[in-house]
Amino acid sequence: MIETIAFYTFSAVTIVMFWIVVSSKNALYSMSALAAGMITISGFFFLLDADFLGVVQIIVYTGAVMALYAFGMMFFDTTREVKENIRAPKLVFLLSGLTALILVIAFAAPMVSDHIKAFYPMVEGVQNPQAVGIVLFTKYLVPFEVAAVMLLVAMIAGIILAGKKMDESLTLKIEEEFQEKGSK
């Protein structure tokens, strides 16, 4: 009973929050709504007995990714309303609906069949984080290491891309250029 209530509450909150993300004109509102949606999604993971995944969702998404977005938004002018030139809104709605429908049918059709067997069944008598550790460090050890290397590469790329000319102020520089042009 409580699972049903929690599921519907979380669903409603998540859908509303994500709708705000895709429809809001203010980037700051979008980001806040996205952070709230991430937290409610971790609620689904706790409902699904994936405790470790829920904690990772909160730490990585709401902690790291959203903080990264917040720091990144300091570089952009986010107080201004986002101006978007949308030519055919109804067509966009129709296209996204149709594409999503086709994707869902294509991926869900084999899933509904009864031929699915558990590849790595849940280990009996252990909690979820322990079971995750057992599978992650035996069957998925190589992808785990590759993911670590990928994160390292992404970190270096981020530092190099964003760190260049960090000492120069963006907004002030533009004003200086304007003043130089004006004085000539």
Residue showing tokens 């991430």: 38
Residue 158 C-beta: closest distance to other proteins, Å:
4
Question: Pick from 90, 106, 109, 116: which binds other proteins (CB under 8 A)?
Answer: 116
Looking at the Cβ atoms of 22 and 179, the one nearer to other proteins is 22
Residue 33 C-beta: closest distance to other proteins, Å:
9
Residue 156 C-beta: closest distance to other proteins, Å:
9
Residue 125 C-beta: closest distance to other proteins, Å:
14
Instruction: For the segment 118-177, give every residue that binds other proteins (CB under 8 A).
Output: 118-122, 131-132, 135-136, 139-140, 143, 147, 150-151, 153-155, 157-162, 164-165, 170, 174
What's the rounded Cα separation, in Å, for the pair 98 and 31?
A: 27
Residue showing tokens 């509904």: 112
Looking at the Cβ atoms of 11 and 179, the one nearer to other proteins is 11
User: What is the identity of the amino acid at 68?
Assistant: L
Looking at the Cβ atoms of 154 and 176, the one nearer to other proteins is 154
Query: Minimal CA–CA distance to 64: which of 184, 154, 180?
Result: 154
Query: Minimal CA–CA distance to 35: which of 74, 78, 69?
Result: 69
What's the rounded Cα separation, in Å, for the pair 21 and 35?
A: 10
Question: Pick from 13, 53, 55, 58: which binds other proteins (CB under 8 A)?
Answer: 53
Maximum pairwise Cα distance, the chain: 79
Q: Rule CB under 8 A: is residue 62 a binding residue for other proteins?
A: no
What's the rounded Cα separation, in Å, for the pair 81 and 92?
A: 21
Residue showing tokens 């869900």: 108
Question: Pick from 55, 58, 92, 142: which binds other proteins (CB under 8 A)?
Answer: 92
